[in-house]
């Protein structure tokens, strides 16, 4: 179960999304630590890596990552050993990600509008998805075998 999250986001994120997440976590008795951009770079791979380091040091039990589309942060997060990151577009995706895959990282599209496409979730839907993610337990059982297989792949194993 989650007790504390590390949150990282890049320059394209509408800060109203961060405020909504902080409010939700606080209201639900969950702690968080935010990876701040120190001015060196606002590249999402670096910010996700900093979040992962905090996670690794056991200062957080999960990660919440945001970028313009969510795609970049999700790709990077899934490069880290032991991270199972998801970019859910609905409550059902969040539910099955937790129940079956024991996902420990969630990513949201929260970017400022682009002149061609809108990819971000509305803030209310994002919070509903986050709520399902946080409040769904890993089922274990048959899914443990698959998580073991994923761990083998992370080590370079083959089937």
| pTM of the complete model | 0.93
DSSP the chain: --SEEEEEE-TTB-HHHHHHHHHHHHHTT-EEEE----SS---HHHHHHHHHHHHHTTS-SEEEEEESSSHHHHHHHTTSTT--EE--SSHHHHHHHHHHH---EEEEE-BPPPSS---PPPHHHHHHHHHHHHH-----THHHHHHHHHHHHHTT---
Phi/psi for 67 (5° steps) reads -150, -175
Check pLDDT > 70 for residue 59.
yes
Per-residue pLDDT, 87: 97
Segment 132-144 shows an average pLDDT of 96
CATH for 4-154 is 3.40.1400.10
How confident is residue 111, by pLDDT bands cut at 50, 70 and 90? confident
Check pLDDT > 80 for residue 158.
no
In the chain, domain spans: 4-154
Mean pLDDT (the chain) is 92
């Amino acid at each position: 179960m989650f007790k504390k999250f590390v949150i990282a986001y890049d320059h394209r994120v509408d800060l109203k999304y961060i405020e909504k997440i902080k409010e939700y976590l606080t209201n639900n008795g969950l702690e968080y630590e935010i990876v701040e951009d120190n001015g060196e770079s606002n590249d999402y791979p670096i910010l996700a890596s900093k979040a992962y380091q905090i996670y690794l040091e056991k200062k957080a039990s999960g990660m919440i990552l945001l970028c313009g589309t969510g795609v970049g942060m999700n790709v990077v997060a899934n490069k880290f050993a032991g991270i199972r990151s998801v970019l859910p577009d609905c409550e059902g995706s969040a539910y099955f990600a937790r129940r079956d895959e024991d996902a420990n990282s969630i990513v949201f599209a929260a970017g400022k509008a682009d002149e061609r496409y809108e990819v971000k979730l509305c803030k209310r839907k994002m919070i509903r998805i986050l709520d399902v993610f946080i409040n769904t337990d890993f089922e274990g059982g048959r899914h443990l075998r698959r998580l073991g297989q994923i761990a083998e792949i992370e080590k370079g194993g083959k089937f």
